[in-house]
Amino acid sequence: MRALFVQQDHVSPTGPIGERFERRGYETVEFPVVPAGRFHAPDVEVVFPDPRDYDVIVPMGAPWSVYDEATIGSWVRAELEFLRLAHESGVPVLGICFGGQALAAALGGRVERGPEPEIGWHTIETRAPGLVEAGPWFQWHHDRWSPPPGADALARTAAAPQAFTLRRSLAVQFHPELTLTMLEGWLGNGGGDWVTAHGGDVERLVAMTEEEEPAAVARAYRLVDRFLDQVAARPR
């Protein structure tokens, strides 16, 4: 079995999500979209693989917005087509943050600027704790989705929807893959200025992440297990 991780940028490793897929018997394959040298000019040409060659697709987070084609160029349209084909072909998709927003847009939902950013560790309201538990989960976004037609909206915060399922796909707005090392990479790649500009405290964010990481990794493992056992296992 093979799981394809779509890494939108060079500072988005698979973290404990990739680890859990491997422990569940999957070979994890990484597909980079924007290389490090083009991070500040991300309108690259991308040819996505055939999603039907994989058993699971995991599109990950990004510092850009799904609707910002002026910045990221045509590859976002190609990614939406890629995700739509995966979903319609019965290939399970686990969309994370930008990846969840992209899945929503690909399946007929809408992505827009939210009323306020969400940064840091937040407990979510969930009506399906046996699939997506309350957390706390790490948030780092300023956009939100409207779920696609037919989706089952599972969780939310005051600022944004947090999870939905549709057939064999699950989208989450938060970052279950987040580790302290990953956060430090984001902060050092311009994210620290973004946090400060939006009223956040970088030192406190780091300290909270260091404290929360062991429990968060266990939650991430449970999320992968539940996705595979409850969502991906649904009939095609």
Give the pLDDT mean for 84-107. 98
Give the pLDDT mean for 145-156. 97
Is the N-terminal amide bond of 176 cis, ω within 30° of 0? no
Model confidence at 4: pLDDT above 90: yes
**What pLDDT does residue 137 have?**
98
Judge whether 236 lies within some domain.
no
**What pLDDT does residue 198 have?**
79
- 58: how many CB neighbours lie within 10 A of its CB? 28
Give the pLDDT mean for 124-146. 97
Q: pLDDT (tens digit, 9 = 90+) per residue, 47-72?
A: 999 999 999 999 999 999 999 999 99
**What pLDDT does residue 202 have?**
85
**What pTM value is reported for the model?**
0.95
Residues catalogued as catalytic: 97, 175, 177
**What pLDDT does residue 170 have?**
98
Give the pLDDT mean for 27-42. 95
**What pLDDT does residue 109 have?**
98
**What pLDDT does residue 165 have?**
98
Judge whether 60 lies within some domain.
yes
Judge whether 162 lies within some domain.
yes
Judge whether 225 lies within some domain.
yes
Provide the residue type at 87 as one letter. H
Higher pLDDT, 196 or 8: 8
Which residue range forms the structural domain that includes residue 155?
2-231
Judge whether 95 lies within some domain.
yes
Asked whether 15 and 38 are in contact (CB, 8 A), the reply is: no
Q: pLDDT (tens digit, 9 = 90+) per residue, 195-229?
A: 888 778 888 989 999 999 999 999 999 999 999 99
Judge whether 166 lies within some domain.
yes
**What pLDDT does residue 197 have?**
83
- 214: how many CB neighbours lie within 10 A of its CB? 8
The tally of domains found in the chain comes to: 1
**CATH label of the domain that carries residue 196:** 3.40.50.880
